[in-house]
C-alpha cells in the first residue's frame, strides 16, 4: 500500500507541469480500485469444495465399512404336500443340515429334491449326426439329440439307448461316453453317449415330428432345442475338426428368465476334457 500511495502522490506532484491531455492519459492508467467485498453467501459459494470424482470418492471411503451383501434367495420347494401322509410341508433347516428343505408339518419327515439325470445319444452315421424335431413342449418344433430322463432300474447307457429307440425308432450300439453336462439352476445333469446305428433305419417316434441325418456343416444351430444340445454339438464339431474325439465335462450356467434354447442364455464353466489317443 505504501508503494501505491507514493506512486499516486508522485503522479499528482508532476501533474501540474504536464499538459492536460497527458495528465488525463496518466490518470487513465492508474490501478483500478479493489473490488467490493462479496456478500457472505456468495463467498461461501465460491469457497465450496469441488465434487469428488469416483476415484477420489473411492479412496476417501476406503476406511468406511463395506455394504452388507444382499440376503440369500430362499428356494421354493416344489414339494408342497408330504408324499407319506399328505400333510402340507414347510421350508425349514433340519437339525444337522445347512439348507432349506421341505419338512412335513405333521409327521416331520424331511423331503429332499435331487437333480434329474438326462441321458441321450449322439448317433453317428456316414459323417452325419441324427437329430429329432420335437413334437412336445418345451421347445416344440426345435431340433435335439434323442434324449430323456433316466428311469429307475436302468443304467445310463441303457436309458440313452431306450430314449433313442423311443424318439427316433433307431436301434443303436453305444460306443463311448462323450459328455457330462451339469445345469445347476434347473437341477439337471446330462450324460451323452456316442453311438452308431446298427442298421440305417430310423423314423419319428410319438414325441418327434421328424428325424434326419445332418452333415456337420448343416447342423441347424439356430433351431436347436436346449443349451445342453447346443454345447454338446459344438464340442463334437470342434473334436471332429481337430481329429481327436475327447470326453467332455462342463457346467452350464443358465441365466434366470431366459428361454431354454436362447443362444445367449448361458455360460460355460469348468470345462474339462480327457484326451483319447
pTM attached to this predicted model: 0.69
Residue 120: beta bridge partners?
147, 192
pLDDT tens digits along 58-97: 334 444 555 554 444 445 678 899 999 999 999 999 999 9
Q: pLDDT for 213-271, tens place per residue? A: 999 999 999 999 999 999 999 999 999 999 999 999 999 998 887 766 676 789 999 99
* Topology, domain 77-113: Ubiquitin Ligase Nedd4; Chain: W; (2.20.70)
Topology of domain 116-270 in CATH is: Nucleoside Triphosphate Pyrophosphohydrolase (3.90.79)
C-alpha span between 207 and 132 (Å, rounded): 9
Sequence ranges of the chain with CATH classification 2.20.70.10: 77-113
Q: Where in the chain is the domain with CATH 3.90.79.10?
A: 116-270
Contact 253, 266 (CB under 8 A): yes
Overall size of the chain counted in residues: 277
Amino acid at each position: 500500500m505504501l508503494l501505491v500511495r507514493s506512486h499516486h502522490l508522485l503522479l499528482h506532484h508532476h501533474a501540474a507541469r504536464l499538459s492536460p491531455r497527458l495528465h488525463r492519459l496518466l490518470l487513465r492508467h492508474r490501478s483500478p480500485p479493489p473490488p467490493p467485498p462479496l456478500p457472505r453467501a456468495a463467498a461461501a459459494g465460491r469457497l465450496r469444495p469441488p465434487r469428488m470424482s469416483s476415484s477420489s470418492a473411492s479412496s476417501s471411503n476406503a476406511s468406511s465399512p463395506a455394504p452388507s451383501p444382499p440376503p440369500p434367495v430362499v428356494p421354493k420347494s416344489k414339494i408342497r404336500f408330504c408324499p407319506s401322509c399328505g400333510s402340507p410341508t414347510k421350508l425349514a433347516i433340519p437339525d444337522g443340515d445347512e439348507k432349506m428343505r421341505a419338512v412335513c408339518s405333521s409327521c416331520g419327515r424331511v423331503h429332499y429334491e435331487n437333480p434329474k439325470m438326462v441321458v441321450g445319444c449322439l448317433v453317428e452315421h456316414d459323417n452325419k449326426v441324427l437329430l429329432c424335431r420335437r413334437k412336445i413342449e418345451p421347445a416344440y418344433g426345435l431340433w435335439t439329440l434323442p434324449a430323456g430322463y433316466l428311469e429307475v432300474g436302468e443304467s445310463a447307457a441303457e436309458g440313452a439307448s431306450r430314449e433313442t429307440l423311443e424318439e427316433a425308432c433307431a436301434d443303436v450300439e453305444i460306443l463311448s461316453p462323450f459328455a457330462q453336462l451339469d445345469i445347476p439352476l434347473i437341477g439337471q445333469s446330462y450324460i451323452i453317449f456316442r453311438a452308431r446305428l446298427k442298421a440305417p433305419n430310423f423314423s419319428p417316434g410319438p414325441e418327434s415330428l421328424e428325424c434326419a441325418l445332418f452333415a456337420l456343416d448343416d447342423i441347424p444351430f439356430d433351431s436347436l432345442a436346449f443349451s445342453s444340445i447346443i454345447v454338446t454339438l459344438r464340442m463334437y464339431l470342434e473334436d471332429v475338426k481337430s481329429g481327436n474325439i475327447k470326453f467332455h465335462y462342463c457346467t452350464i450356467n443358465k441365466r434366470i428368465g431366459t428361454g431354454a434354447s436362447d443362444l445367449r442364455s448361458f455360460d460355460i464353466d469348468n470345462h474339462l476334457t480327457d484326451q483319447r489317443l
